Structure 1
Amino acid sequence: MPKPISMPTPRRPSSKVARELLQKVRDVGGDADAILRHAGLPSGLDAMLRSAWAAPLSPDQFTLIYRECVAALEEHDSRRQGRPPMTKSEVDMLCYCVINCATLAEAIARAAAFCAMLDGRAAELSIVTMGAQAEFRMHTFRRKRDTAAFLTDLTGLSTYHRLFSWLIGEDIEPLSVEVCYPLLIEEEVAARLMPHPIAYARADNLLHFPARYLDQPIVRSYAELVDLLKTFPFDLETIPSKRMSMAKRVRATLGGALARRTPLPTLDTLARQFSISGATLKRRLADEGASMQQLKERCRHDLAIDLLADESLSFGDIAQRVGFSDATTFSRGFKAWTGISPSAYRQAMASPE
C-alpha cells in the first residue's frame, strides 16, 4: 500500500548546512557576508564559523541563506561556462507548466520539454521504465565536477524528487539515488539536502523508484502551487507536502479530468492509479465519510459554479462541460444541488447588492 505523506514536522534550521553553503560561496569568490546581512545576521561568516557560534536560525533565515547561496554557486558555474544561470523564476515556470498534467509521467515529460528549451542552462531530463522500476535521469552539462557544481546539482535532484512527491500527494520512496560526483561536502550536510542514501561517483544523476508512481494522478491545484512557490525549493526545514485524505486526492483527480474535458475515471481506474484495490478505495472513502458518487457530484457542482460566471457560455455549453446531456438536464441537476435554476443563479451573480 502506498505510504501517505506524513504531516510536516518543523525542525530547527540547520546552522551546519548554512555554514557549509556559505563557506563554499566564499571559496568561489562570492560575498557570504552580504548573504548573512540579508538574513539579518550582520556578524558575518567568520563569526558563524567559530565553534562557539550557536545562534539559532529561523526557518525564514535558513531559506534565504540556502536560496542565495545556490544562486551564487549557480552564477559562478554558469559564468565559467559562458552561459546565463538558471533562475528561481524559471524553476517556478517549470512548476506552472506541469501543474495541469494528468499524471506524474506526463508531468515529467513536460518538465523535460521545458528544460530542453533552456539551451543547456538546465539539466537534460529523461524517464525510462525497466519492468517495475523507473529511472529518472538528470543529466548535467557542467564541465567541471567541483563542489559548486555538486551542490547545485544535488539541490536540483532533491528539488525534482520533492516536486514529484508533492504533485501526487504521496511520498515517493526512491529505490536508489546516484550522483556523478564524489562526496565533496560533509555527509551530514548532503543528507539534509537529499534525505535518502546516495551513491557517489556514478555515471549520472539518477533517481530509481517504483514505476507505479508514474501512473499516479496529479492531485495539486494551481492555488496550492502559488502558495508552495513562495519558498520552494529552498524550505528544507519544513516538508512542503501536507497529508492528503483519499477523498481529497480523488476529488482533485476528478476535478482535473473535468477541467481537461476528459472522461471521468471510474472507481476501478482510480484504484489502479493509487495502487490499491477498488474495494480498498471504496472503504477508505467511506471511512472519511465520502463516496465516489458524492465526489463526482461535488466536482461537477463546483465546475458549474465557476462556468456560470462566464456569461459568454450558454447553458448548453456548461451542460456539456460538466457531463450533462443537454441544458434541460443540467438545469434539473443544478436545481437539485443549489435549490435554484442556473439562470436564477447567474442573474443573482450579476445583480448588484
Structure 2
Amino acid sequence: MVQRKSSTHYVSVLLRHARSIGLDVKKILEETGIPVDFGEAEEAWINNELLANLVKAIWSGTNNETFGLDPTPMRIGTWALACEFMLGADTLGALFRKGERVLSYLAPDSAGLKIHHEGSYVVVMPQVYLGERDPDRFLIEFMTALWHRFPSWAIDERIPLKEAFFSYPEPDHSHFYEELFHCDVRFQQSACGFMFHERYLKRRIARTLVELEAWLRNSPADLLYMPGRENSIQVQLKASLIEIAKESTRYPAFESLCRDMAMSPQVVRRRLADEGTSYQQIKDAVRCETARSLLLNPENSIIDVALGTGFSESAAFSRAFKKWTGESPAHYRSSRLET
C-alpha cells in the first residue's frame, strides 16, 4: 500500500506549541512513534499516520479540538457532532448551511463559518482564531483544509477551487498552500477562505453515517495530506508520457497533464525543480527512449523514426538525438545491429 506523506513542518509547529503549553513532548514522541529529529525538521516528509497520531495526542493532551491555540476551548467531540448533523443534508449546499447553523451553537465565537456568493462562485470563510498564540497560522490552515476536504468527501468528489485567500502576510512555507488547495493562493486579503463554482452546491451527499465514523478516525491524516508526495512528480509525468507516446506523436500541454494530476502548474514546476529536472527534460527523455526503440527495428527509416517521435523532418531529429545520446541516429543503429 502506498504511504501518504505530509510535511514535517507541521510536526515542528505542533511540537513547539505542545512544549509552550507544558505538554510532555518526550512522552508524545514515544507514544506517536515520531523520530525525535523530526521535531526540528522543516523540509522533510513524514508518514501521514504519524502526523495523525500527533494531532490526536495534542487533542487528548489539551482536551481541546483547537489544540489549545485558541484561548476559548472547543470541547472534544464538537466536530464529530457537527459532521453528523451536516451529513443529514441532501445536497452540498444544504450541508454548508447546516455547518453555519450548527457551529453557531456548538463552537466558540472564534470558530464559526460564513458563506456568501460572489457572482457564480461560493465563498467559504472559516472563522478561526488568528492571534499571537498561533504564530505559525496552523489553525487556519487546518480548518480551511477541513472545510474543503470534508465537503469533498461527503459528495465523493474533490471540489475544484478557484482561489484560496488569507488575511496575513505570505509565510515562509507558502508553497505548501498550493499543494493543499490546488489553486491560486493570495495573501494579505481582507479575510481567509476559498471559492468554488456554485454548480457544486447541487451535488448530492453520497456518504453515510457508518462511513463517517471511519472518516473521522482517519481525518487528521487526510487534512494535511499533500497529493503526489507518495511518488516523485517526474516519475508520474514520465509514466503518463510513455503511455501517451504509445498512441500518439503529439504530447499534451503541460497544463493539461497538471490538471490530470489535480495539481497546479506552479506546484508541479517547483516540485520538478526540487527533483532537479523539468517538463522539457522529461519529455526529451521519453522521446529519446522511443527513438532508441524504433531505431532498433531496421525496417524503420530515419524519417519514420523522426515522425514517430514528433519531429517533422529528419535533420531536426538527428540534431536532437545526437544532443541526447552523443551519437547520430545512423551510428546508434549500426552499432547496435552489428552482429
Q: TM-score range by the shorter chain?
A: 0.5 to 0.7
Q: Is the 8 A contact 1:103 1:218 kept in 2?
A: yes
Q: Could you tell me which residue of structure 2 aligns to residue 230 of structure 1?
A: 217
Distance in structure 1 (CA, Å) of the matches to 2:12 and 2:166: 23
1:195 shift after superposition: 4.9
Superposed CA offset, 1:313-343 (max 9, x none): xxxxxxxxxxxxxxxxxxxxxxxxxxxxxxx
1:35 shift after superposition: 2.1
Assess, with a 3 A threshold, how the Cα gap between structure 1 residues 204 and 68 changes in structure 2: closer, same or farther.
Answer: farther
1:1-353 alignment, distance < 5 Å: 10-27=3-20, 29-41=22-34, 44=36, 47-49=37-39, 57-69=46-58, 74-78=66-70, 81=71, 83=72, 85-118=73-106, 120=108, 123-140=111-128, 142=129, 144-145=131-132, 147-148=134-135, 150-184=137-171, 186-190=173-177, 194-235=181-222, 236-237=224-225
Assess, with a 3 A threshold, how the Cα gap between structure 1 residues 199 and 24 changes in structure 2: closer, same or farther.
Answer: farther
1:190 shift after superposition: 4.6
Quick one: which amino acid aligns to residue 33 of structure 2?
Answer: G
1:70 shift after superposition: 6.7
Assess, with a 3 A threshold, how the Cα gap between structure 1 residues 9 and 104 changes in structure 2: closer, same or farther.
Answer: farther
Q: Is the 8 A contact 1:16 1:189 kept in 2?
A: no
Q: Is the 8 A contact 1:86 1:121 kept in 2?
A: no
Distance in structure 1 (CA, Å) of the matches to 2:107 and 2:149: 24
Distance in structure 1 (CA, Å) of the matches to 2:18 and 2:181: 20
Distance in structure 1 (CA, Å) of the matches to 2:145 and 2:131: 20
Assess, with a 3 A threshold, how the Cα gap between structure 1 residues 13 and 120 changes in structure 2: closer, same or farther.
Answer: closer
Q: Is the 8 A contact 1:123 1:138 kept in 2?
A: yes
Quick one: which amino acid aligns to residue 93 of structure 1?
Answer: L
Give percent identity, aligned residues only: 19
Q: Name stretches of at least 5 consecutive residues in structure 1 with no aligned partner.
A: 1-7, 240-353
Paired residue total: 223
Alignment partner of 2:145: what SS? helix
Assess, with a 3 A threshold, how the Cα gap between structure 1 residues 129 and 163 changes in structure 2: closer, same or farther.
Answer: same
Quick one: which amino acid aligns to residue 11 of structure 2?
Answer: A
Assess, with a 3 A threshold, how the Cα gap between structure 1 residues 28 and 195 changes in structure 2: closer, same or farther.
Answer: farther
Q: Is the 8 A contact 2:159 2:200 kept in 1?
A: yes
Q: Is the 8 A contact 1:154 1:194 kept in 2?
A: no
Q: Could you tell me which residue of structure 1 aligns to residue 252 of structure 2?
A: none
Assess, with a 3 A threshold, how the Cα gap between structure 1 residues 195 and 38 changes in structure 2: closer, same or farther.
Answer: farther
Q: Is the 8 A contact 2:180 2:225 kept in 1?
A: no
Q: Indicate the RMSD between aligned Cα atoms, in angstroms.
A: 3.3
Quick one: which amino acid aligns to residue 21 of structure 1?
Answer: L
Distance in structure 2 (CA, Å) of the matches to 1:22 and 1:137: 27
Distance in structure 1 (CA, Å) of the matches to 2:106 and 2:145: 20
Distance in structure 1 (CA, Å) of the matches to 2:182 and 2:40: 27
Superposed CA offset, 1:197-246 (max 9, x none): 4322221112111011111111111221122111214334487xxxxxxx
The alignment's TM-score, normalised by the length of structure 2, stands at 0.56
Distance in structure 1 (CA, Å) of the matches to 2:8 and 2:107: 36
Q: Could you tell me which residue of structure 2 aligns to residue 302 of structure 1?
A: none
Distance in structure 1 (CA, Å) of the matches to 2:26 and 2:179: 23
The alignment's TM-score, normalised by the length of structure 1, stands at 0.54
1:25 shift after superposition: 3.4
Of the two, which has the highest radius of gyration?
Answer: 2
Distance in structure 2 (CA, Å) of the matches to 1:50 and 1:114: 38
Q: Could you tell me which residue of structure 1 aligns to residue 261 of structure 2?
A: none
Quick one: which amino acid aligns to residue 25 of structure 2?
Answer: A
Distance in structure 2 (CA, Å) of the matches to 1:143 and 1:19: 19
Q: Is the 8 A contact 2:126 2:147 kept in 1?
A: no
Q: Is the 8 A contact 1:17 1:189 kept in 2?
A: no
Q: Is the 8 A contact 1:145 1:181 kept in 2?
A: no
Distance in structure 1 (CA, Å) of the matches to 2:6 and 2:218: 14
Quick one: which amino acid aligns to residue 68 of structure 2?
Answer: H
1:18 shift after superposition: 2.0
Q: Name stretches of at least 5 consecutive residues in structure 2 with no aligned partner.
A: 228-339
